[in-house]
Amino acid sequence: MRAYFFDMDGVLFDSMPNHALAWEEVMRQYDLPFTAYDCYLNEGRTGESVIREAMWKARNRDATPDEIKTIYAEKSALFNTLAQQSGGTPTIPNVAEVLRYIALCGDQIWVVTGSGMRSLIDNLNTVLPPVFQQDRMITAFDVVKGKPDPEPYLKAWERSGLKKEQCFVIENAPLGVCSGKAAGLTVYAVNTGILTREDLLQAGADQVFDSMIELLEFLRR
């Protein structure tokens, strides 16, 4: 038995382009410098953490609870609008094949995400193979500290009931890689966005793949 811990944005859903557009636009409205590349580098953090980090860098102070609530609400609304305008959020190419293969092997499939986007979380079993169980999901609602802290992946590992050497993280972002490695797990990174392989290797990824097909071929060995 093995367990595979999948990040969601950029691993299951090709949602990062719209996330980047939404974050960049809303942050601009609040005079908080934040580029698309910043978004990809910060992927995995909770929305609250992203806003706090941006506020510290721009104004050397913490964001207020009202600022966090307002900025994140506006970002989420814009993300949903962008997704609707493009006909919905597509899945990452060939990730369905990876999920089917792992399910066929009888291994556990988990979602470990810093996201609180219900529009994506609630649609997992609709747009992807129905392999996801509610009790095998760690989201922004389940943790105090998001990625790069190890808490999300440690929670998944503890609940899996398996040894750490039986658990594998599937990530696409440096902070997610750091989180998985800090939890003492093997991390496979699939570079689905605008980052470089070096970004993921420097974060500590054990293997970096350029596509889900490459990952699937590796798992089948």
> Which candidate, 118, 110, 56, places its Cα nearest to that of 83?
118
CATH number at residue 166: 3.40.50.1000
Are the CB atoms for 159 and 178 separated by under 8 Å?
no
> What mean pLDDT is predicted for residues 153-168?
98
The two structure tokens encoding residue 27? 């942050």
Residue where one domain finishes, among candidates 43, 65, 85 = 85
- Does residue 64 share a domain with residue 162? no
Question: pLDDT value at position 45?
Answer: 80
Q: Which DSSP state fits 173?
A: S
Q: 29 and 7: one domain? A: no
On the question of a cis peptide bond just before residue 130, with omega within 30 degrees of 0, the verdict is no
Instruction: Give Cα 13 to chain centroid, integer Å.
Output: 9
pLDDT of residue 86: 86
Q: pLDDT at position 29, please? A: 97
The domain boundary, picked from 27, 50, 85, lies at 85
- As a whole number, mean pLDDT of residues 23-46 equals 92
Query: What is the arithmetic mean of pLDDT over 125-150?
Result: 92
Q: What CATH number is associated with residue 49?
A: 1.10.150.240
Give the structural domain span for 171: 3-14+89-219
Could you tell me if 68 and 104 lie in one domain? no
155 and 198 share a domain? yes
**Are 178 and 121 in the same domain?**
yes
Residue that terminates a domain, selected from 70, 85, 100: 85
Are residues 215 and 195 part of one domain? yes
**Count of structural domains within the chain:** 2
Q: Are residues 96 and 200 in the same domain?
A: yes
- Predicted pLDDT of residue 62: 96
Give the global pTM. 0.87
> Rounded mean pLDDT of the chain?
94
Same domain, 65 and 101: no
Burial of 135 (0-12, 13-18, 19+ CB in 10 A): exposed
Convert the pLDDT of each residue in 78-126 to its tens digit.
999 998 998 888 999 999 999 999 999 999 999 999 877 777 888 899 9
188 beta partners: 170, 207
Residue 43, token pair as written in the block: 């992927």
Distance CA 21, CA 126 (A): 25
Residues 78 and 158 placed together within one structural domain of the fold: no
On the question of pLDDT at 207 being above 90, the answer is yes
112 and 155 share one domain? yes
Looking at the structure, do residues 24 and 108 belong to the same domain, yes or no? no
Three-state secondary structure call for residue 140 = coil
Q: Are residues 98 and 167 in the same domain?
A: yes
